[in-house]
Structure formats: C-alpha cells, structure tokens
Amino acid sequence: MLKWLFEFRYVILFVLWLIITCVIKGKDWTKKKIYEYMLAAKQMSKEGFLKSGTEQEEWVVNSLYILFMKLKIPFVTKEVIRPIVKKLYNLAMDKMDNGKIDNSFK
C-alpha cells in the first residue's frame, strides 16, 4: 500500500491541487456572479421594475438559484443563498460607505 502511494505521489498531489484550485476559483466565481446579479437588480430598481430592497434581494436569490440548478448543483437551496447574498450586500455597502471594510454600515 505504501509503495503504491509512493509511486503515485505526484498524481495524488496533482489531484489534491486540482480540487483545492477548483474550490477557490469556484468561491471567487460565485462571489462575482452574486455581485453581478446585485448590480443588475439595482439597475432594474432604477428602471422601475423592482420597487423595494426586498424585491431586489428576492430577485437575486431566485436568479442565483436558477443559475445553480442549470449548473446541476443540487445541494444549493434558496435558504443557503439568502444569507450569502445578505452578507455580500452588507460588505458592498460597507465598502461604498467610506472605502473600507470596517463594519461602519448598519
């Protein structure tokens, strides 16, 4: 067993590296998509399609849920997406408040 592990150590390291890279890139891609949908919702609000902040949030959550279902990611539900969207919205508003992330926006 140890001899087999030693012989395939580079393959094993490559697979581990690939998994870690996919997880990190996946998180970055997801954040990027959430911010894109948040900006689209804000634009739709300015155009009069969405009236309130809760409608914007609901539109973002529904759009992301549809996107994840198209990508065949089964374990993502609306209940999982909603707190992530709220957290990233608060981070974006905090950054826009004074240019720093220091919890000054509430």
- Compute the mean pLDDT over every residue in the chain, rounded to the nearest whole number: 83
**Percent of the chain at pLDDT exceeding 70:** 93
The pLDDT tens digits for 78-91 are: 998 899 888 888 88
Contact residues for 76 (Cβ-Cβ < 8 A; gap 6+): 65, 68
pTM for the predicted model, two decimal places: 0.69
The pLDDT tens digits for 48-75 are: 888 887 888 889 999 989 888 888 877 8
Quickly list DSSP for 29-98: HHHHHHHHHHHHHHHHHHTTS--SHHHHHHHHHHHHHHHHHHTT-TT--HHHHHHHHHHHHHHHHHHHHH
Lowest model confidence (mean pLDDT) among 25-39, 59-73, 90-104 = 90-104
